[in-house]
Amino acid sequence: MRIFTAALATETNTFSPICIDRRAFEASLYAPPGEHPETPTLCTAPITVGRRVCVEKGWELIEGTATWADPAGLVNRETYEGLRDEILGQLRAAMPVDAVVLGLHGAMVADGYEDPEGDLLTRVRAIVGPDILVCAELDPHSHLTANRAAASNFFVYFKEFPHTDFVDRAEDLWKIAVDTLEGRITPVMSIFDCRMIDVYPTSRDPMRSFVDKLMRIEKEDADVLSLSVIHGFMAGDVPEMGTKLLAVTDGKPEKGASLARELGLELFSHRGTFIMPQIDERQAVDEALAATKGPVVIADVWDNPGGGTAGDATVLLEELLARGATDVAVGTIWDPMAVQICMAAGEGADIPLRFGAKSAPGTGNPVDGTVKVVKLVRDAEMRFGESFAPFGDAAHIRFKGIDIILNSTRAQSFDPSLFSVMGIDPTSKKILVIKSTNHFYASFSKIASEILYCSAGTPYPNNPAKTDYKRAPKNIWPKVDNPHGTEKGAA
């Protein structure tokens, strides 16, 4: 067997002012054929898992380009078309192949392309023809469109949020692919549109129990090859935005459709109960200061670079400064210009600096003052599960008793190693302020005495009932109360 694999991924917040060009992909991950590292990034696990599987099977794995850009706004047209055509050219050169196994995100939007993944997969199908296996692993914070489904045999999505299972799901993807290529199964997809948009952390119920149920069905029913909840991405203003339920069965599309509908309506019946309770910055600082032990983790949930924002909001920092808080570490505030200034000044320097809140309204005010440059790190990285997430050249500064990490490559706060690589012991601090919606939970929960979810400022369109969508579906909860009418389980 000859298998072609590649990855092209980012998550597009269509409301974000930060556009993505080729440099953004190169800053996060750009690996030409054969140069992908041994450890996967979030959307490239099909490549690293595929290496092992193909060695075990004695098959030939032909690697194309793997590239990922941290979430932001619209992707530059020339950038998307250039990376797409690079991968398609590699596929043409590899022909004939027996399968195409891709790593995608699923929420990319480019200038002129509302569904880049659908465009890519349709072009892949045109190259390989109707009989060659085409499959992909995707992030659930994405859009499942008709075009991409029509061009592919099957998809597997991460089940967990935080996405701690991206390697496990790549294993599932390859198992189904191997069984298909060896003639044991015929995967078919059935999709149910839940007609809703919500946030579904699996670190708490009701989503925890729902995902456990999906895995139980997969284990007990031989006809069911994979079940996925496509959460949707509320900051992506595109026509097919929203939550969907995907069932991949072994040649049983009617059974899959019935199961997807049943599970989708069950999910819909819990609408509005999934996301964790949130408090504002004043209450968050009140509770953190009153805590008897630390570290108290305050998650700035909506200034999350993982959702396409800048990650430069200062609303929480301003509240902490106003209260005279110390024994605090903030990670991170994105400000490449301030990092450059700190790099030029050098470690140990005391310098006047303005930093933060440059990207958009609703992110607070720039902070001004004399800071100490404590530590500088070139090409800094933090852990994220089995992989590493770069946050670029970074500066650890100290201002009025608060330790602050400034970074030059936007990245959400995945892991406490974010602090330790910058010379800060996170377990020694009373308060840790991080930028993440829920990906932080898997690692920070291990050291936190308490976790506070804070909604501070308005850097992100976090209320879909009020968001001024132009392209997204109108008949979708919470825009309307019950888009399913009187269907059983929808009330």
% of residues, the chain, pLDDT over 90: 94
**Nearest Cα to 142, choosing from 243, 56, 58?**
243
Strand, coil or helix: 431: strand
What is the maximum alpha-carbon separation in the chain? 68
Residue 449: partners with Cβ closer than 8 Å, 6 or more residues away: 291, 293, 294, 295, 296
Position 486 confidence tier, pLDDT thresholds 50, 70, 90: low
Mean pLDDT over 11-37 rounds to: 94
**Nearest Cα to 227, choosing from 214, 213, 216?**
214
Mean pLDDT over 402-419 rounds to: 97
Q: What is the pLDDT of residue 229?
A: 98
In 346-465, which residue ranges form alpha helices assigned H by DSSP?
Answer: 417-420, 441-444
Q: Tell me the pLDDT of the chain averaged across its residues.
A: 96
Lowest mean per-residue pLDDT among 108-112, 303-307, 348-352, 486-490: 486-490
In 366-482, which residue ranges form alpha helices assigned H by DSSP?
Answer: 417-420, 441-444
Q: Please say if the pLDDT value at position 489 is more than 50.
A: no
Q: What is the pLDDT of residue 491?
A: 44
Beta strands in 209-305 (DSSP E): 224-230, 244-250, 296-300
β-sheet bridge partners, residue 136: 102, 155
Position 487 confidence tier, pLDDT thresholds 50, 70, 90: low
Q: pLDDT (tens digit, 9 = 90+) per residue, 47-69? A: 999 999 999 999 999 999 999 99
**Whole-number Å distance between alpha carbons of 202 and 159:** 8
pTM of the model: 0.90
In 291-379, which residue ranges form alpha helices assigned H by DSSP?
Answer: 315-322, 336-345
Name the residue with tokens 């949020």. 161
Angle, helix 77-94 to helix 116-128, in steps of 10 degrees: 20
Name the residue with tokens 């049983």. 252
Q: Which two tokens stand for residue 44?
A: 């490239």
Q: What is the pLDDT of residue 283?
A: 98
Q: pLDDT (tens digit, 9 = 90+) per residue, 454-482? A: 999 988 888 999 999 999 999 999 999 99
Question: What is the sign, positive or negative, of the torsion defined by CA atoms of 426, 201, 174, 184?
Answer: positive
Q: pLDDT (tens digit, 9 = 90+) per residue, 272-283? A: 999 999 999 999
β-sheet bridge partners, residue 406: 333, 395
Name the residue with tokens 């600082």. 285
Task: Provide the edge-to-edge strand list for the sheet that holds 133-138.
Answer: 29-31, 60-68, 2-9, 99-104, 133-138, 154-157
User: Cα 427 vs. chain centroid, distance in angstroms?
Assistant: 26
Task: Provide the edge-to-edge strand list for the sheet that holds 224-230.
Answer: 187-193, 244-250, 224-230
Q: How far apart are the first and last CA of the chain?
A: 50
In 312-385, which residue ranges form alpha helices assigned H by DSSP?
Answer: 315-322, 336-345
Q: Which helix (H) or strand (E) holds 480?
A: none
Neighbour tally for 262: CB within 10 Å: 15
Residue 62: partners with Cβ closer than 8 Å, 6 or more residues away: 2, 3, 4, 5, 33, 90, 94, 97
How many CA atoms lie less than 13 Å away from 62 in the CB half-sphere?
18
Position 361 confidence tier, pLDDT thresholds 50, 70, 90: confident
DSSP 35: -
Measured CA distances, 460 to 109, 210, 282, 310 (Å) = 17, 27, 19, 10
Q: Please say if the pLDDT value at position 209 is more than 80.
A: yes
Mean pLDDT over 355-365 rounds to: 93
Q: pLDDT (tens digit, 9 = 90+) per residue, 319-334? A: 999 999 999 999 999 9
**Nearest Cα to 244, choosing from 222, 228, 226?**
228
Strand, coil or helix: 405: strand
Q: What is the pLDDT of residue 459?
A: 87
Q: Please say if the pLDDT value at position 437 is more than 90.
A: yes
Q: What is the pLDDT of residue 418?
A: 98
> How would you class 21 by CB atoms within 10 Å of its CB: exposed for 0-12, middle for 13-18, buried for 19 or more?
middle
- Cβ(297)–Cβ(316) below 8 Å: no
**Nearest Cα to 188, choosing from 243, 123, 141, 135?**
135
Name the residue with tokens 């992030």. 139
Mean pLDDT over 129-155 rounds to: 98
Q: Please say if the pLDDT value at position 449 is more than 90.
A: yes
